[in-house]
Amino acid sequence: MRNIPSFGVGTFRLSGQTVIDSVRNALDLGYRAVDTAQIYGNEAEVGQAVADSGVKRSELFLTTKIWTANYARSQLVPSLRDSLEKLRTDYVDLLLIHWPAPGNGVELPEYMEALAEARQLGLARQIGISNFNIELTKQAIAVVGKDEIATNQIELSPYLQGRKLTAFLKEQGIAVTSYMTLAYGKVLKDPVLATIADKHQATVAQVALAWALQLGYSVIPSSTRRENLASNLLARALKLDAEDMALIAALDRNGREVSPEGLAPVWD
């Protein structure tokens, strides 16, 4: 089992030539993890960018997520095979359940068992969950065991720090993947983060990403601009001190950006 890379490129809300260019630029700059999902409608473009990059498949870490319409045991694996065809690969490195979708008509044990089956078939090297609260993570653990759940990919940013959930995941040995770490760009205008950025001669985006990395989370920021993709990568070398981390800790305000009705759980 490979560790989940700490730094990847996200493709949410990117489509067509835009996503092809973004992934191609990211791979050219040295990114080796790419995150997509069935609902993004861009798996084929991601697959094209990866194929055109010339990077060996063994060097890449590809993640996709099963959409709610495909949670039934009869549909999950076939839908994954379709995703793999679009991505031009025999397997994904990580396969996630995208949203818990309570009341979706498919119970959690059924889709977690189907997810585990995908791994047993070799179609996914690792499996995990996304947007699960503590209670639903416990239910998922009860079905497949905590060692089977590689990560919970959740929205986290300096404005939404999810301390209760992340502490629980750490306790269980489940890695945390942070998405929307820049809160749709809202953190970029934050004066506290700007002061920290000035101190380190860094960008605000680098500070926010370094904060997440220092807490042990993986990050998957997206960008359509090559210079931003390159700049974001530099967050890996930025070391924030205890004072910086304390200042960022104080920015938490439960500032959630994404919580679709019918898909999201009751948040911790």
Residues that are catalytic: 40
- Helix, strand, coil shares, percent, the chain, to 5: 50, 15, 35
Displacement of CA 116 from its chain's centroid (Å): 19
The answer to whether 95 and 63 are in contact (CB under 8 A) is yes
The whole-angstrom separation of Cα 141 and Cα 62 is: 23
Tell which residue, 46, 27, 28, has the closest CA to residue 36.
Answer: 46
Structure tokens at 73: 């045991």
Residue 218: is it exposed, middle or buried by C-beta count within 10 angstroms (0-12/13-18/19+)? buried
The residues, ordered by sequence, that sit 6+ positions from 11 with a Cβ below 8 Å of its Cβ are 19, 22, 23, 34, 35, 36, 40, 42, 46, 222
Q: What are phi and psi of 150, to 5 degrees?
A: -70, -35
In angstroms, rounded to a whole number, what is the distance separating the alpha carbons of residues 107 and 51? 36
DSSP secondary structure letter of residue 157:
B
Find residue 152's DSSP bridge partners: 129, 176
